């Protein structure tokens, strides 16, 4: 591909930290950069504590372990998301209940949470979709009235804000992913963030086999190995230090797309709620019937021209492993299914320059016959 969907934005700062970690011999799941990255992320998000882990999926798993999710519990997840939230719920023996999303934010609809609640419901995972935070005040009202926990999956929304508050601080416990295509990355990695000291203590314990720091090889709880290596934490520490620079580049890139594709009938960019400041992860474009082509055909034409555009995920409610829990329920996700049938991603990398944006824009015009 001439223009990849995403490229890693690493500088000499991250490379220097990584070389220092290599030279020190601290390359496994302990070391000074693990603590440094945790402190930097907590400060960036405005929370009291952070635990870095090996993947974003592991962070979600650890968050649900802290929430005490047990087999048979129900956890409500949005129908428009990558599969990880539902998969983690199912792997714990609990039941992922798929809910529809709002038409503006494209995030979990609080009214749907209220409709789907049962006596078995333990909590909710709200995903900040494609950089746009969910409506956490509305979700908190519903969860508070029902005694439900609220986990924020902010994997796609590094640096975005909800009513002035940073993502990563909006749930009872929040999670990040630092996979290679995320706004901030260390290749693979994740984090659990919260201001609840009990959750931080429990997360730190369970990510390391449940082994206490006070007594070697003494295990207070059943844990797992979710540790992030000091080598990757060194890269992550540098990324957090450069976060504002990277975020501004991503926002400028999205603005260039919106300005230069605004004249095309049948293309629509994602809306934004008035209370949200969105840092785009991957910039989505909605392909409407007025464009004269289908979403899949536009993706095909762009890719044939060297542009790594991609269709978004399959709706969760359509995936075979998750249909088994829909029997006997009124699972309906028309908003999510309509959006996911029309959306594609454009290349959205913070290292893209204006000339590359122009290549993508010309390819879109050409694919749609707009000259």
Q: What is the pLDDT, as a whole number, of residue 58?
A: 98
Q: How confident is the model at residue 329 (pLDDT cuts 50, 70, 90)?
A: confident
Q: What is the pLDDT, as a whole number, of residue 216?
A: 85
**Residues in the chain, how many?**
371
Mean pLDDT score, 66-85: 97
35 and 80 part of one domain: yes
In whole angstroms, what is the distance from residue 311 CA to residue 198 CA? 40
The pTM (predicted TM-score) of the whole model is 0.96
224 and 191 part of one domain: yes
pLDDT digits (tens, 9 = 90+) for 167-193: 999 999 999 999 999 999 999 999 999
Statement: residue 331 has pLDDT above 90: no
Q: In this structure, is residue 4 part of a structural domain?
A: no
In whole angstroms, what is the distance from residue 86 CA to residue 145 CA? 23
Q: % helix / strand / coil in the chain, to the nearest 5? A: 40, 20, 40
Q: In this structure, is residue 7 part of a structural domain?
A: no
Statement: residue 330 has pLDDT above 80: no
Long-range CB contacts (within 8 A, 24+) of 145-149: 146/114, 146/117, 146/121, 148/113, 148/117, 148/121, 148/122, 148/123, 148/124, 149/67, 149/122, 149/123, 149/124, 149/173
207 and 340 part of one domain: no
Statement: residue 279 has pLDDT above 90: yes
Q: In this structure, is residue 1 part of a structural domain?
A: no
Q: What is the pLDDT, as a whole number, of residue 253?
A: 96
Q: What is the pLDDT, as a whole number, of residue 282?
A: 95
Domain enclosing residue 356, as ranges: 244-367
Statement: residue 300 has pLDDT above 90: yes
Q: In this structure, is residue 97 part of a structural domain?
A: yes
92 and 166 part of one domain: yes
226 and 253 part of one domain: no
Residues 16, 137 contacting (CB under 8 angstroms): no
**High-pLDDT (> 90) share of the chain, %:** 92
Q: How confident is the model at residue 53 (pLDDT cuts 50, 70, 90)?
A: very high
Average pLDDT score over the chain: 95
Statement: residue 370 has pLDDT above 80: no
pLDDT digits (tens, 9 = 90+) for 218-273: 998 899 999 999 999 999 999 999 999 999 999 999 999 999 999 899 999 999 99
Output the domain CATH number for residue 299.
3.90.1150.10
Please say which residue of 221, 243, 265 terminates a domain. 243
Q: What is the pLDDT, as a whole number, of residue 6?
A: 94
* Type and span of the H or E element at 54: none
Best-predicted range by mean pLDDT (131-140, 204-213, 216-225):
131-140
Q: Are strands 121-127 and 149-153 parallel, antiparallel or unpaired?
A: parallel
Alpha-carbon torsion angle 209, 175, 102, 286, nearest 10 = -110
Q: Are strands 190-194 and 343-346 parallel, antiparallel or unpaired?
A: unpaired
Statement: residue 213 has pLDDT above 90: no
Question: Which is more confident, 1 or 46?
Answer: 46
Mean pLDDT score, 151-169: 98
Statement: residue 327 has pLDDT above 70: no
- Structural tokens at position 298: 């536009």
231 and 267 part of one domain: no
Strand order in the sheet with 161-162: 165-166, 161-162, 276-277
Q: In this structure, is residue 6 part of a structural domain?
A: no
Please say which residue of 195, 217, 243 terminates a domain. 243
Q: What is the pLDDT, as a whole number, of residue 29?
A: 87
Ranges assigned E (strand) in the chain: 49-53, 74-78, 95-99, 121-127, 149-153, 161-162, 165-166, 173-177, 190-194, 267-269, 276-277, 283-287, 310-311, 343-346
Number of domains in the chain: 2
Alpha-helix runs per DSSP H in 147-220 = 197-206
Q: What is the pLDDT, as a whole number, of residue 220?
A: 86
Output the domain CATH number for residue 112.
3.40.640.10
Mean pLDDT score, 128-152: 98
Half-sphere exposure of 272 (CA within 13 A, CB side): 18
CA nearest to 295, candidates 272, 271, 312, 314:
312
263 and 330 part of one domain: yes
Strand order in the sheet with 343-346: 267-269, 283-287, 343-346, 310-311
Alpha-helix runs per DSSP H in 210-353 = 230-241, 243-260, 295-304, 320-323, 334-342
Residues 137, 163 contacting (CB under 8 angstroms): yes
Q: In this structure, is residue 73 part of a structural domain?
A: yes
Q: What is the pLDDT, as a whole number, of residue 371?
A: 62
Please say which residue of 228, 243, 258 terminates a domain. 243
Q: What is the pLDDT, as a whole number, of residue 212?
A: 87
236 and 331 part of one domain: no
């Amino acid at each position: 591909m001439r223009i990849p969907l995403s490229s890693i934005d690493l500088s000499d700062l991250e490379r220097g930290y990584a070389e220092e970690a290599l030279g020190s011999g601290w390359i496994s799941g302990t070391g000074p950069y693990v603590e440094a990255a945790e402190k930097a992320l907590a400060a960036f998000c405005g929370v009291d504590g952070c635990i870095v882990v090996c993947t974003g999926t592991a962070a979600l798993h650890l968050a649900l372990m802290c929430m005490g999710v047990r087999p048979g519990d129900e956890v409500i997840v949005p129908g428009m998301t990558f599969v990880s939230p539902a998969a983690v719920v199912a792997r714990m023996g609990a039941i992922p209940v798929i809910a529809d999303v709002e038409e503006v934010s494209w995030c979990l609809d609080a009214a749907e949470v209220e409709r789907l609640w049962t006596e078995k419901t333990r909590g909710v995972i709200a995903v900040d979709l494609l950089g746009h935070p969910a409506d956490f005040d509305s979700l908190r009202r519903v969860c508070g009235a029902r005694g439900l926990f609220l986990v924020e999956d902010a994997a796609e929304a590094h640096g975005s804000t909800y009513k002035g508050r940073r993502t990563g601080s909006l749930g009872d416990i929040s999670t990040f992913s630092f996979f290679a295509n995320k706004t901030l990355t260390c290749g693979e990695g994740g984090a659990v963030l919260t201001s609840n000291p009990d959750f931080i203590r429990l997360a730190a314990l369970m990510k390391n086999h449940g082994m206490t720091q006070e007594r070697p090889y003494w295990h207070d709880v059943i844990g797992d190995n979710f540790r992030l290596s000091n080598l990757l934490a060194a890269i992550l520490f540098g990324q957090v230090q450069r976060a504002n620079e990277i975020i501004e580049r991503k926002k400028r890139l999205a603005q260039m797309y919106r300005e230069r594709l605004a004249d095309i009938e049948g293309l629509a960019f994602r809306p934004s709620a008035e209370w949200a400041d969105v840092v785009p992860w991957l910039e989505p474009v909605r392909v409407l019937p007025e464009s004269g082509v289908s979403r899949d055909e536009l993706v095909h034409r762009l890719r044939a021209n060297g542009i790594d555009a991609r269709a978004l995920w399959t709706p969760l409610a359509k995936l075979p492993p998750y249909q088994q829990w829909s029997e006997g329920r009124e699972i309906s996700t028309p908003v999510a299914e309509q959006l996911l049938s029309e959306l594609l991603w454009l290349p959205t990398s913070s290292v893209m320059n204006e000339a590359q944006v122009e290549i993508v824009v010309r390819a879109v015009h050409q694919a749609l016959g707009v000259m």
